[in-house]
Amino acid sequence: MRESNTDLRVIRTKESIRDALVELIDEKGFEAITVKDITTRARINRGTFYAHYQDKFDLITKCEDEIMLEMYRIAKQNIPGVIAVLETNSPTLTPLPFAVSIFEYLNENSGFMKAVLGPKGDLSFQTRLKDFIWKIMFGNNPDALFKKENLLVPGQYLTSYVASAHIGVIQQWLDSGRKESPQEMARILSTITVNGPFFAAGLKK
């Protein structure tokens, strides 16, 4: 029972620290934040902070690691289904389950995602997201979406286009207050990604 209480206390402490980080990024930007700012906002002492993190950079990296790890898990679980849908060669107007799962997870972590992807957050996180999309699309594993030998354009340009578009859509959704549900956002992104922007604009049937 004591171990359970200790674990719960650690979880709550980390949540308080993460919440403080998000609030402070919104207020003053990550670069200007100090550990003292974080501990004051989270109402903990510096010793408690340093029991879990080396500094603010270690904190944001570990928070981002948790996000990336879960997104990889979601991707690995859903990629076979995405491949099956794409192989039907039929226009997709219904949301891909993969996209629904990703947007549901982003919705659950919207505060952190909006903070780190915003102009005051961690610019390097976008690079990590682009690397994530590269691995999903072309990674050296049997679960990758596409085979390099089938490409009609260089892979790095395709990945850059898709990654920038996806991140842009996610940022727009977060910045506009998440008015659409994760299911609706998944439908929007699936339609644009699978069928192309001209199809989504009604120019190509």
- Check whether 109 has a pLDDT greater than 80: yes
Evaluate whether 125 touches 64 at the Cβ level (below 8 Å): yes
Half-sphere exposure of 102 (CA within 13 A, CB side): 26
Q: What does the pLDDT average to over 27-49?
A: 97
Q: Which of 103, 72, 77, 88 is nearest to 187 (CA)?
A: 103
Helix (H) or strand (E) holding 193: helix 182-195
DSSP category for residue 96? P
pLDDT of residue 202: 83
Q: How far is CA 147 from CA 54, 129, 144, 155, 164, in A?
A: 41, 20, 7, 10, 21
pLDDT of residue 98: 84
Q: Which residue has the tokens 């402070």?
A: 24
Evaluate whether 101 touches 74 at the Cβ level (below 8 Å): yes
* Tokens, residue 72: 């990889």
- What digits encode the pLDDT tens for the residues 42-97? 999 999 999 999 999 999 999 999 999 999 899 888 877 776 766 665 555 566 78
- Between residues 111 and 203, which one has the greater pLDDT? 111
Q: Does residue 119 sit in helix, strand or coil? A: coil
DSSP category for residue 149? G
Distance CA 56, CA 38 (A): 9
**pTM of the complete model:** 0.83
Q: Could you tell me which residues come within 8 angstroms of residue 50 by beta carbon, excluding any fewer than 6 positions away?
A: none
Distance CA 199, CA 205 (A): 6
Distance CA 136, CA 105 (A): 17
pLDDT of residue 5: 61
Q: Which of 47, 55, 44 is nearest to 17 (CA)?
A: 44
Evaluate whether 79 touches 145 at the Cβ level (below 8 Å): yes
